[in-house]
Structure 1
Amino acid sequence: MDKKKQQALTKYADQLAQLIMRLSAFYEGAHPAIDNELKILKGHLAGTPNFTLAEISIGKVNALLMDGGQHIPKRITSAISELKKQLKAIQQLDGASTTIRQLAAKQLGTLSLPTASLGLLFEHLFNAISLAQVAIDKSDGANNEAYNNYASESLQEGQTFDELPEEIRAEITTELQQLIDVYSRKKPQDTTLQSIKSALEKGIDDKQLLETCLIVIRFIISETMMDASTSGKLVQNFTNTITKVNTQVDETKSLSQKNFDKQAQQQADLQDMLGDLDNDIDDGNDVEALKEKAHKQISKMREAIDNQQTSGEKDQQVLMDLLNDMQNQLHSLQRKTESYKKRLFEQRATIYTDPLTKVPNRLAYNEKVLKAIQQAQTTEQPLCLAIVDVDRFKSINDQYGHAAGDRTLQVIANHFKKCLQPNEFVARWGGEEFVILMHNQAKDGLFDRLEKIRLSLSELPFKFKQTPVKITASFGACCFAEDETAQQAFERADAALYKAKNQGRNCVVLSE
């Protein structure tokens, strides 16, 4: 094998090793046993690749992929079973009203439907369950007068409820509107989604609201089942490619062994020819006869060398074809995984972004705040929360139209993105409300920081169709206390916002 071809083979082998390492990193976390074997495989391919050991690891990974086809469905079944236990526990809570029990029963009904999905399904199911959980959480709050009055009027067994507390109704409606916004962007031609969106904007009664919850949940399940199907196809492609590569590695190894054996035999034949030539020289007395024998032996050796070169070139071409085929298969799989990875990223961005203002939405906040609390507890740094409510937003809608209201929210969101610091996170909570998380913000500087944001917002030179529109907002804020939950902190900030509204709006009020 000449040096140029050897370098080409080395290059292809290095590219193959790097691609397998990238693929193993991409699929990390799918299965513990596969993770462990992929780490071993990456070790064999790191530095100077050891293809003999890598072949063994590839075989093990392939076997695990074939055997682990039911791993994700089993995890889904286990998670659904745990969710059902939680819902049943909610139904059995002391003090839980019949309303809450009925909501939990409906959620249990949705979980009894056939389910096949990945993490997105669990996320939506937990969000659906939180609709009932929020109501239970509020039943523990002594300051929630509206809910306590409602809870005290216990419904009799077998009786249906006529109306939900306004606060719970508003939260459920907002959650549904955000989910509908997400999926209507994915399917703008879906008439069911558009009709639900229109009905929520106009207002529906409590029975229709709960029926809408079930419709949305069924839609989510259907969508996530399609996502699961796509994921399964990708995993199957990965399995098939690994199987083919494993087979071709066997063929490459077998061909290399045959080449080695053939070259060894050819070397032995040349040695025999040289031995015969030596014997002829030792035994020969006639110079002409010796020359004739020498020519014959040399011709045989030349023919053997030519045959060896021709055979080597053919074997080399077969080996190159195998390596090129493996490379093409892996490149194809890489393109598919990159496309799927991009799709997942776009889906996540869609789910966690408010479609109107392009800032994170409530789902994004709910995830962010839990991480922020954990980080604050770990680093022992303060964490603050502010709720921002646009003043007299209904008047803007009534006076200038909903297009002006939408544009107002977009201007406010853009202003927040520009003026907030790297340690601050903003999300649209719903309607005309935004929430701001402030990492490592000391309480003694919280008022001044929010006051600066409020003043800059009130000075925005905003016009709608050449008509000046004055934008102001009220701020309610608090700093997280030790072991305080996200819901508890939000309620304190919301109470402070209520005070800010009562004090004339366009001001900052901190929770005591």
Structure 2
Amino acid sequence: MSSKSVAEQQVTALKKKLEAAIQSRSTLEEDFSVQSSLLIQFIGKLSLVSKGIDLELDNRLAQLRTLFTKSAPIAEIESKIAVITKLLQQHSITNEQNLTRMHEQFNMAGESLQKINGLPDNVRRTLRALLKETKTSKDALVQYIPLLSQLLELYDAALKAKDAPPKGGLLQANNVALAKADSKTATVDESLIERISASLSALNLSKEHTNELLAIKKKLLNDTSNEEVLQHFLEIFDVIVADFKDEQNSAKNFLTNLSDTLTTVQNAVKETLTSQKSSQQANDKINQKLQSQIIEMTGTVKKALSLDQVKSDINEKLQLIAGTLEQKSKFEQQSQQQLANQLKEMAEKVDFLEQQSKIFEEKLAAQQQKSMQDALTKLANRAAFDDYFAKAMVRFHHQAYELALVVIDIDDFKLINDTYGHTAGDKTLQVIANTIQKHVSKNVFVGRYGGEEFVLIYSATSKAELVKELNKINSYVARLPFKFKSNKVSITLSMGATHIQQDDNIHIAFERADKAMYQAKSQGKNQVVYLT
């Protein structure tokens, strides 16, 4: 084989290694591009999570996202990350200071209350337990909310005790004893019980605490003495506070996981940027060495006096170049593997963060949906009606269409509660709600407005069709087989309906439908009245 042929083969091998190096470099750049895209997505999510906490932090994160999008220099990105890190540290310090201040002020207020003369024993015991509970500082400001509420209740009790007439004298002692006896036997106004019951139905708690609340509500409806009702009030507050604490703990756990994940990803980003910068510098050195060796080989060929000398020099230079290329290839493989590992770790952290965020978002969505639902009938509640009707009115005034509002009231509902009890009343509301929802047309909004009133919103329905369907619903309800304490009871509805006019607003339209409903009652009940 000639010297020329050997040289050509070596040059060909050298070209292949160069092409492999170029391909490896291209793969590295693609990986870096994927990593940059992932970082941009992560920073976007971080911006959403931290939005509203600090305006400057929001702006800095937006700037960082822009830098990654434009593939800005590493030094500029590192500078921006350093500023954001400093802002987060300042926010953490401020939060710690606020916690310390809140802890000190809370305990000072509690200790001042303890010094008041004539403080009732039960208040003093509760206050002592409360201060014992807050001996150590809490982890977050929101944890002080229920404690502050409890402290305010104790202050209120202390003020009432201070304003109470002083003890002394046989007659006064007898009056106090009589008052205590009366408090045990006197009954609470039923209208107050009804209002409390309605308020409890509107509360949106977790399933576990909702069941506890329903059990207390049943006892509240059966036990009506002052002392019993007061005890049930305390039980209700305990359940609400317990649910509030559960929500706090859930949010705290999520935020803790979020903070840990963000810290890990932030460190990974720093390490990746540092590693990338170091890899770039090392790769540049190898490229310079390779270029120098190629230039040196070219010079050797030009200076050579014979073919043998060329062959000897080229072989030596090619071996050096091959060694450098092998070093370059090994280095790039190591860099790619390191980058891949970091990218994988970061992706796993981001995936975990996304899962946590998704769970929290689903929980918030469920809570929001629950807040728009009536707890007793499972229909849309007053808030949902206000929102739906307001949007329907906006569409109507933008482009008029047949939009109708119906107000429904159960006839003589108070008589059912007074005669058969509130449990029977609740059951009646549930059955009627289910019947209405079952027999209305498709896409009709059905909601419980409050008490024994329901509301319907129809779209694209004429007056004749509307009145016909409402009369059918009335007939279905009137035929329902209600039975309380072995007594068959016929329950009917009074309905007021109207179509929205061009000069109507929400209040005018509702007042007209409400007026039609009261007109139906005054005309004998169990009927539909339509007003224009």
Change (3 A) 1:221 1:168: same
Aligned to 1:405: 428
> SS of the residue aligned with 2:217?
helix
8 Å Cα contact 2:406/2:496 also seen in 1: yes
> Is 1:269 matched with 2:284?
no
> Is 1:10 matched with 2:33?
yes
How do residues 15-414 of structure 1 correspond to structure 2 at under 5 angstroms?
A: 15-25=38-48, 28-29=51-52, 31-44=54-67, 50=72, 52=74, 60-68=83-91, 167-179=191-203, 182-183=204-205, 185-187=207-209, 190=212, 193-202=213-222, 204-205=224-225, 208-209=228-229, 212-285=232-305, 287-361=307-381, 365-366=382-383, 368-369=385-386, 386-391=406-411, 405=428, 408-414=431-437
Alpha-carbon separation, structure 1, partners of 2:55 and 2:464:
50
Change (3 A) 1:208 1:56: farther
Alpha-carbon deviations, 1:142-165, whole Å to 9, x = none? xxxxxxxxxxxxxxxx99997776
Change (3 A) 1:420 1:252: closer
> SS of the residue aligned with 1:435?
strand
| Higher deviation after alignment, 451-460 or 159-168 | 159-168
> SS of the residue aligned with 2:378?
coil
> SS of the residue aligned with 2:524?
coil
Change (3 A) 1:407 1:426: closer
Alpha-carbon separation, structure 1, partners of 2:315 and 2:190:
109
> SS of the residue aligned with 1:434?
strand
Q: Please tell me the residue identity of whatever aligns with 1:243.
A: T
> CA RMSD of the aligned region, Å?
5.4
The alpha carbon displacement at 1:242 in A equals 2.5
The alpha carbon displacement at 1:313 in A equals 0.5
8 Å Cα contact 1:37/1:61 also seen in 2: yes
8 Å Cα contact 1:177/1:200 also seen in 2: no
Aligned to 1:503: 523
TM-score (norm 2): 0.62
8 Å Cα contact 1:28/1:35 also seen in 2: yes
Alpha-carbon separation, structure 2, partners of 1:277 and 1:266:
16
The alpha carbon displacement at 1:345 in A equals 1.6
TM-score (norm 1): 0.64
The alpha carbon displacement at 1:434 in A equals 1.8
8 Å Cα contact 2:187/2:224 also seen in 1: no
Which entry has the higher C-alpha Rg, 1 or 2?
Answer: 2
Change (3 A) 1:218 1:490: farther
Alpha-carbon deviations, 1:71-116, whole Å to 9, x = none? 79979x99xxxxxxxxxxxxxxxxxxxxxxxxxxxxxxxxx99997
- Percent identical among aligned pairs is 20
> SS of the residue aligned with 1:426?
strand
> SS of the residue aligned with 1:474?
strand
Change (3 A) 1:209 1:33: farther
Alpha-carbon separation, structure 1, partners of 2:354 and 2:235:
37
8 Å Cα contact 1:476/1:510 also seen in 2: yes
> Is 1:456 matched with 2:478?
no
> SS of the residue aligned with 1:301?
helix
The alpha carbon displacement at 1:247 in A equals 2.0
8 Å Cα contact 1:496/1:510 also seen in 2: yes
Q: Please tell me the residue identity of whatever aligns with 1:460.
A: Y
Aligned to 2:448: 427
Structure 2, unpaired ranges of 5+: 1-23, 103-130, 150-178, 483-487
The alpha carbon displacement at 1:346 in A equals 1.7
The alpha carbon displacement at 1:54 in A equals 5.8
Alpha-carbon deviations, 1:319-357, whole Å to 9, x = none? 111111111101100000101111122223334323443
Alpha-carbon separation, structure 1, partners of 2:464 and 2:187:
42
8 Å Cα contact 1:266/1:308 also seen in 2: yes
Alpha-carbon separation, structure 1, partners of 2:50 and 2:327:
47
The alpha carbon displacement at 1:15 in A equals 3.9
Alpha-carbon separation, structure 1, partners of 2:228 and 2:394:
42
Change (3 A) 1:236 1:210: same
Change (3 A) 1:32 1:264: closer
8 Å Cα contact 2:471/2:527 also seen in 1: no
